[in-house]
Amino acid sequence: MSDGLLRRAARLASHLKKAARRALFATMIATAARLLGPLVVRRGIDDGIGGADRGVIAITALIFLGLLVVQYLAQRIAQFSVAILGEKYLLQLRSTVFQHLMRLDMAFYGRSKAGVLVSRMTNDIESIQEFAEEGAVTLVINLLTIIGVAAAMLFVDVTLAFQVFALIAVLIVISRVFQRYAARAYQEVRTQIGRVLATLQEGITGVRVVQAFTSEPEQAGHFGGVNEAYFEANMRTARAVAWYFPGVAFLRVAGYAIVLFFGGSRVIAGDLSFGSLVSLLMYLDWFFQPIINLANTYNQLQSASAALAKLFRLLDTESLVLDSEGASDLPDEVDGAIRFEGVSFGYEPGLPVVVDIDLEIPAGQRVAIVGETGAGKSTLARLVLRFYDPTEGVVLLDGLDLRSMTLASRPRHMVLIPQEGFLFNGTLRDNLRYARPGAADDELWRVCRTIGIEQWARELPERLDTLVRERGGRFSAGERQLVALARALLADPAVIVLDEATANLDPETEARVERALGTLLEGRTAVVIAHRLRSAEQADRVLMMDRGKVIADGTHAELVESSEAYARLVSVWERGVLR
CATH 3.40.50.300 segments of the chain: 338-575
Q: What was the pLDDT predicted at 577?
A: 46
Count Cβ atoms below 10 Å from residue 162 Cβ, excluding itself: 11
Among 308, 191, 190, 291, smallest CA distance to 250 is for 291
* Region class of 525: left (phi > 0), else alpha (psi between -120 and 50), else beta: beta
Q: What are phi and psi for residue 210, nearest 5 degrees?
A: -60, -50
Element housing 161 (H / E)? helix 158-205
Q: How far apart are CA 422 and CA 471, in angstroms?
A: 6
| b/e sequence 260-282, b meaning 16+ C-beta within 10 Å | eebbeebbeeeebbebbbbbbbb
The order of strands in the sheet holding 495-498 is: 414-417, 495-498, 525-529, 366-371, 541-546, 549-554
Cβ atoms of residues 27 and 144 within 8 Å: yes
Residue limits of CATH 1.20.1560.10 in the chain: 93-316
Confidence (pLDDT) at 578: 40
- 530 contacts: CB under 8 Å, gap ≥ 6: 368, 369, 370, 377, 500, 536, 539, 542
pLDDT at residue 6, rounded to an integer: 64
- Residue ranges in the chain modelled with pLDDT below 70: 1-6, 8-14, 110-116, 132-137, 179, 190, 208-214, 292, 295-296, 299, 419-421, 471-474, 500-513, 575-579
Residue 482 identity: L
Assign domain 338-575 to its CATH superfamily: P-loop containing nucleotide triphosphate hydrolases (3.40.50.300)
Farthest-apart Cα atoms in the chain, separation: 119
CATH number for the domain whose boundaries are 93-316: 1.20.1560.10
Put the strands of the sheet holding 400-401 in their side by side order: 354-361, 338-345, 392-397, 400-401
Contacts of 449 (CB under 8 A, 6+ apart): none
Q: How far apart are the first and last CA of the chain?
A: 56
For residues 408 and 464, the answer to whether their CB atoms sit within 8 Å is no
d(CA 482, CA 517) in angstroms, rounded, equals 9
